Every structure is written in C-alpha cells, then in structure tokens.
C-alpha cells in the first residue's frame, strides 16, 4: 500500500479547492522552473533548479532526461538518490486530487535506479536502490531494491540479490 496522507474535502471536488492547499504563487513559480528544467539540456543546471528552486533532494550524478515532469504543487516531497536516471517524459507525482479528498505522499527513489521513458510514479512510493523500472510503467506500489519491474499495473519481472544473482 502506498504511504499517503488523506485530507477529506467538503463541497466541490478537491481539484476545485487546490489553492486552499497550495498557494497560487508557489504553483506558478514551480510551473515556470519545472518547464525550464524539462527543456534544459544541461544536467547540472537542471539538478540545480530541482535542488535550489524547487526543494527536491537530488543525489550526485543523477540524470533527469528531457521532458521529465515533476509534481508542480509539492516537488519538495521528491527525493532521488545518487547516480540514478529518470527517463524521458517520466511523471513523478506527490499529490492526487480526487472527488472527496486529496492525498499527499513522499516519493523516494534510491541510488543507481533506472527509470525508463514514459513512466508514471504515483505518490507515496519508494523505489529501492539498483531497481530498474521498464519504460511505460505505472509505479503504483513500492519497488524492492535490485528488482526489475514493469507494466500497467506494474509487477515484478525479475528480482536480483545485492550480489547480482537472481533470487529464487
């Protein structure tokens, strides 16, 4: 189960009430810097935007491909370890606005993780060290360290131990 905090709302659906949960200024500022980072070809500049202007935790030598979309309202809830790759056009969400509630959850991506292109990562998910997520996956639950996962819904395709040998 994903680890999210749930906040019930009264009245219209939660998305209509978004600016009671996050300031308009923060949303606009984040949107502008996220768009700059999405198109920026320089990894060091991109990581600097994520760390300094959006409050994300980004490890040394981590690479965000072009068009990665991080959560516009709560990017500070995203943590990515060292030497990881986030593939082209991946979306990392830390919020969900639903009809009767909204949910917030941290996204933690470990060290030396490979996320394939066009993947969506939902709030409250942890992806363990050395995991590989196949392109086009929907990560809706935790991914164990050293696992190879993929699909929609995501499932474990292969699991290796820390020594690189396949687990039985």
Can you give the residue ranges of every domain in the chain?
Answer: 5-159
- Give the whole-angstrom CA distance, residue 71 versus residue 119: 14
Instruction: Scan for tokens 């509630």, then name that residue.
Output: 101
Is domain 5-159 in CATH 2.40.33.10, yes or no? no
| pLDDT tens, per residue, the chain with 168 residues | 699 999 999 999 999 999 999 999 999 999 999 999 999 999 999 999 999 999 999 999 999 999 999 999 999 999 999 999 999 999 999 999 999 999 999 999 999 999 999 999 999 999 999 999 999 999 999 999 999 999 999 999 988 776 666 665
Q: Alpha helices of 14-140 — where are they, by DSSP H?
A: 24-39, 43-48
């Amino acid at each position: 189960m994903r680890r999210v905090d749930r906040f019930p709302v009264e009245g219209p659906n939660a998305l209509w009430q978004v600016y009671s949960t996050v300031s308009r200024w923060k949303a606009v500022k984040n949107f502008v810097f996220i768009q700059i980072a999405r198109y920026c070809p320089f990894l060091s500049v991109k990581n600097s935007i994520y760390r300094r202007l959006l409050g994300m935790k980004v490890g040394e030598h981590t690479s965000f491909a072009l068009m990665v979309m991080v959560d516009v309202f709560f990017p500070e809830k995203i943590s990515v370890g060292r030497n990881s790759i986030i593939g082209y056009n991946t979306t990392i969400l830390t919020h969900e606005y639903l009809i009767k509630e909204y949910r917030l959850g941290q996204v933690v991506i470990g060290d030396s993780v490979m996320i394939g292109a066009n993947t969506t990562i939902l709030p409250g998910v942890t992806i363990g060290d050395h995991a590989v997520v196949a392109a086009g996956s929907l990560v809706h639950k935790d991914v164990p360290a050293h696992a190879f996962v993929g699909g929609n819904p995501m499932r474990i395709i292969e699991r290796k131990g820390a020594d690189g040998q396949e687990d039985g």
